[in-house]
Amino acid sequence: MTYSSTMVTQSTTLPESKDPAIPDSIFHTLKEKAIKARNLSYSPYSKFRVGCTILTDSDEFIVGANVENASYGGAICAERTAIVKAVTDGHSVFKAIAISTDLESCASPCGICRQVIREFSDKELKMPIYMFNADGSKFVRMTVGELLPLSFGPDDLKSLE
Ligand SMILES: O=c1ccn([C@H]2C[C@H](O)[C@@H](CO)O2)c(=O)[nH]1
Ligand SMILES: [Zn+2]
């Protein structure tokens, strides 16, 4: 089998199943809001729509989508759009993040987003990231620590103090 670059191969894809680690209703909302948020994408250049939902530590849902620019390097991913919205609304610890693209397979966050997600994760880096395909029939679940091993974080800056 040939894998496309956007397919995640290191983790189990669980078709049509829920995550026992979080309540069904929360899982469902994370998924549905990430799928719906793709409609908010401004992606005339890549035509690659991404939606994201963040579950904050106070159980609020905040959504985002990718926002591109004629100067291509100015593109902001869905994950960072949602994170910036959440943080500037006063939420800086997250419980879970979900993303969804138009692909049949599950795509994973880019390197920059992994680092930014890591900043607002729990100290143990156990926060789950759910990667849904287009219709939500498949997802991959990985923790921040799994997606970004040996990461650099806020505590590393403290070692010089
Ligand atoms: O995890 C990802 C990967 C890509 N993109 C966006 C950036 C750009 O707008 C488009 C193509 O890379 O998809 C995201 O929003 N999230
Ligand atoms: Zn990104």
- Residue 105's closest CA among 131, 125, 77? 131
- CA-nearest residue for atom 7, ligand 1, is 77
Task: Please check the confidence at residue 154 and state whether its pLDDT lies above 70.
Answer: yes
pLDDT bin (cut points 50, 70, 90) of residue 21 is confident
Mean pLDDT over all residues of the chain? 91
Nearest atom, ligand 1, residue 43 CA: 9
Active site residues: 79
Torsion of the alpha carbons at 120, 122, 124 and 129, rounded to the nearest 10: -70
- Residue 108: both structure tokens together: 């994973």
The token pair at 122 is: 């729990």
Give residue ranges with CB within 6 A of ligand 1.
Answer: 43, 46, 48, 50, 66, 68, 75, 77-79, 99, 107, 109-110, 113
Nearest CA to ligand 1 atom 2: 109
Instruction: Tell me the mean pLDDT in the region 71-99.
Output: 98
pLDDT reported for residue 11: 47
Instruction: Give 76: exposed, middle or buried? Use CB within 10 Å, 0-12, 13-18, 19+.
Output: middle
- Residue to substitute in 43, 46, 50, 97 for testing ligand 1 pocket (most ligand atoms within 8 angstroms of CB): 50
Q: Which of 66, 71, 72, 99 to mutate to test the pocket of ligand 1 (most atoms within 8 A of CB)?
A: 66
**Atom number, ligand 1, closest to the C-alpha of residue 65:** 15
Residue 18's pLDDT band (cuts 50, 70, 90): low
Q: What is the pLDDT of residue 22?
A: 87
- The closest-lying atom of ligand 1 relative to the alpha carbon of residue 113 is 1
* pTM of structure: 0.90
